[in-house]
Structure formats: C-alpha cells, structure tokens
Amino acid sequence: MALLKIETLDTDVRLGLWKIEEQEEDLIRDYSWLSDITERLKVVRSAQRRLEVLAIYALLYELTNDKALRITHDLYGCPHVLDYYIGVSHTKGFAALILSQTRNVAVDIEYCSDRVGRITHKFIRNDEFAPTLVHQLINWSAKETVYKYFSDQQLGFFDMRIIISKLNDVGILEAINLKSEQRITVNYQRNNDYILTYLY
C-alpha cells in the first residue's frame, strides 16, 4: 500500500495522497472489493490510467471507510460521490483526493518536470509573475484547481489570475476568477516530486 498521507484540513475537509507504486493486482489483493471497479475499467486501454482510477478508489475508501461509494461524472467531467463534494487528480505516479460533506472542494497534483516551461504562453498571463519552473508549475496546478472549483463557469487559463507573493514548500496563494471577480485562497504543497494545490 502506498498511501502517503491523509490530512484533516478542517472539521469537514480531508485530503489524501497516494504514491502509485503497485500493479493492478496488488491493489486488488489489498482492496478485494476493487475487482468490481476493474470490471468497469476493462474498456480503458491504458494500464496507467486504470491504475490511477484504482488508486483514487483506494483513497476514497481510506478517507471514508465506505467500500460502496462510487464516483460518477457530470456533463463537465466533474466527479461526484453520493453525500460528498469531491475533487480528484492524478499524474505520473501520484493520485490525490479531497472531500467534504458540506462545501465545494478541488485539488490538482502535477509531477515535477519541465514540460510546462515549453507552453507558458498558453497559460501564463502578462500580469502574472512566473520567472522559474516552480512558479510555472504552481501557476498551472493552481489554475487547474480553480478551474475545477468553478467547473460550471468553464474558465479558460486567461480567465484566472494567480498571485504568488512568496514561495515556500507549503503555503497559500491568491487566485482571481476574472469572470466573476471572485478572489479565493489556494493552498499548495511542493517538493522535488510533485506540486499539490487544493482549495475548500
């Protein structure tokens, strides 16, 4: 089992992080009820994608202790679970899940690489400060999180402005939804392996 951590962020908000190191068989051995999920995943060609979905379900169980919960998606592709607000994300080698029973939540995780540095013109606004790769990765991940949080508004990258005042390993930044002029606080965690952003 590669559960990295579970954090209680507030009285009704929990965040889980999984490092995907196992094979499908390992997850099914440890969480036998996942065999039901694998039947539905047979149409998914990518073994990595199947593994990411299984890791998300393992996280969902670890956070709720409920084997019966199933994730559905709406027209915008947003995940839903009965009686919960939920946010999910996965990237190369990691899966993240945030949930609450009382409020909207969102999460994004990105593995650290230079891939975003090649496309900054597609998501960094002229009025945003992102001189380093770390700034760019946090900007990208924060915008993914804000997009998910305001999913019904279908924001574009330039409909959001990220303000990073000081970089730490753990911190907060300000995000502005320029369509609604709403300011929100996005939390972030970073290390050599991944950037994690979330809001609640």
| 134-171 residue pLDDT tens | 999 999 999 999 999 999 899 999 999 999 989 999 99
Give yes or no: residues 98 and 114 share one domain.
no
Other residues' Cβ atoms within 10 Å of the Cβ of residue 125? 16
| 173-190 residue pLDDT tens | 999 999 999 999 999 999
Provide the pLDDT for residue 77. Answer: 84
Give yes or no: residues 82 and 116 share one domain.
no
Give yes or no: residues 81 and 159 share one domain.
no
Give yes or no: residues 95 and 144 share one domain.
no
Residue 101 backbone class (left: φ over 0; alpha: ψ -120 to 50; beta: rest): alpha
Distances (CA, A) of 64 to 12, 37, 57, 108, 199: 12, 17, 10, 20, 19
Give yes or no: residues 98 and 116 share one domain.
no
Provide the pLDDT for residue 1. Answer: 61
Which residues of the chain, if any, have pLDDT below 50?
A: none
Q: Indicate which CATH number applies to the domain containing 91.
A: 3.90.470.20
Q: What is the mean pLDDT of the chain?
A: 94
Per the CB < 8 A criterion, the answer to whether 164 and 129 are in contact is yes
Per the CB < 8 A criterion, the answer to whether 187 and 145 are in contact is no
Give yes or no: residues 115 and 32 share one domain.
no
Alpha helix positions (H), 21-178: 24-30, 35-40, 47-64, 133-149
Q: Which residue range is the domain that position 27 belongs to?
A: 3-103
Q: Count structural domains, the chain.
A: 2
Determine if the pTM surpasses 0.85: yes
Give yes or no: residues 153 and 195 share one domain.
yes
Give yes or no: residues 26 and 66 share one domain.
yes
Give yes or no: residues 128 and 84 share one domain.
no
Counting residues of the chain whose pLDDT is more than 70, the rounded percentage is 100
Give yes or no: residues 133 and 171 share one domain.
yes
